[in-house]
Amino acid sequence: MMKGPISQFIEHNYRHFNAAALVDAAKGYEQHLLEGGKMLISLGGAMSTAELGVSLAEMIRQDKVHIISCTGANLEEDVMNLVAHSHYKRIPNWRDLTPEQERELLDTHFNRVTDTCIPEEEAFRRLQQHLEDVWYAAEAKGERYLPHEFLYQVVNSGVLEQYYEIDPKDSWIVEAAKKNLPIVCPGWEDSTTGNIFASNVIKGNLQASTVKSGIEYMIYLTEWYRANSGGKGVGFFQVAGGISGDFPICVVPMMYQDLEWEDVPFWSYFCQISDSTTSYGSYSGAVPNEKITWGKLDIDTPKFMIESDATIVAPLVFAYILGQ
């Protein structure tokens, strides 16, 4: 396939250091797919608020990703941007804000993520109403679902379409919901929608068990990995650090160390985009070889580390894979 202008630019200009690592990682990802491999992408940080959906949605449409692991924040914030985009406020001089100015943002119902303020009323509350509807409906029927399955129910129902403020083709959750793409969302409790659910449990409106737990996510991932790790195997493309990367990568050593299954293949490709400094005890900043000692990667697993800002790097890697 003839590559487009973005890919040609990258190949011509990105020759050394982190730039070369980007090209190598993108080519490795492409080769992994060409050989029949599957790919997990993990999303840490605030990648949905950074609107990674513009490129990630196309990756999902073209079957370049087969499962996603993300934080609760990334799960909900893609939808929040979808339904409340015009109400977001951007603050280019965010480094200069005083504590008083930060408090003013709180008092006017804006929650800041670096230079971007999420509008509480239009984003959180608009989504809350419809999530509560599916939580209550499930509990009334004695049903339980994983966090992303509840969100898929809301998105696929069409009830949010009245609020859409961006082209839905730029929402990765909309595309994932269409395909019923597997998602792992460890630590979902650490999110605004998780907090809303907890408040409903405390008020006595819902049972905690109605939303399935992180342990059940690990079981779900175990079943998916067993079904998809044959042949070329499953690769791991980690965008930023944290629990969205730590949790799913552990499924491999869990299976052969704790379950004592001896036929579990290692992850067959690994790339991490991170600006976390390699330091003492930091897992996000650990070099890929450390993962060999934990039974996650093998000696000959293709390994890449791009030490840079994922909001800049990930769309370029995706563009290369998509041939743009």
In a domain, 22, yes or no: yes
3 state SS of 151:
helix
Model confidence over 44-90: pLDDT tens digits? 989 999 999 999 999 999 999 999 999 999 999 999 999 999 999 99
What confidence tier does 283 reach under pLDDT thresholds 50, 70, 90?
Answer: low
pLDDT of 282 > 90? The answer is: no
Model confidence over 119-138: pLDDT tens digits? 988 998 889 999 999 999 99
Rounded alpha-carbon distances, angstroms, from residue 80 to 108, 122, 172, 199, 250:
18, 8, 12, 20, 30
The pTM of the whole model exceeds 0.85? yes
In a domain, 95, yes or no: no
**Strand 183-184's sheet: what is its strand order?**
183-184, 67-70, 38-43, 234-239, 269-273, 303-306
In a domain, 243, yes or no: yes
CATH classification at residue 236: 3.40.910.10
> Which of the residue ranges 22-36, 108-122, 283-297 would you say has the lowest mean pLDDT?
283-297
Give the Cα separation of 151 and 188 in Å (integer).
Answer: 12
Bigger pLDDT: 237 vs 277: 237
In a domain, 149, yes or no: yes
**Can you give the pLDDT at residue 292?**
86
Model confidence over 292-321: pLDDT tens digits? 888 889 999 999 999 999 999 999 999 999
In a domain, 91, yes or no: no
Model confidence over 185-211: pLDDT tens digits? 999 999 999 999 999 999 999 999 999
| Domain count within the chain | 1
pLDDT of 37 > 80? The answer is: yes
In which domain, by residue range, is 31 found? Answer: 5-84+124-322
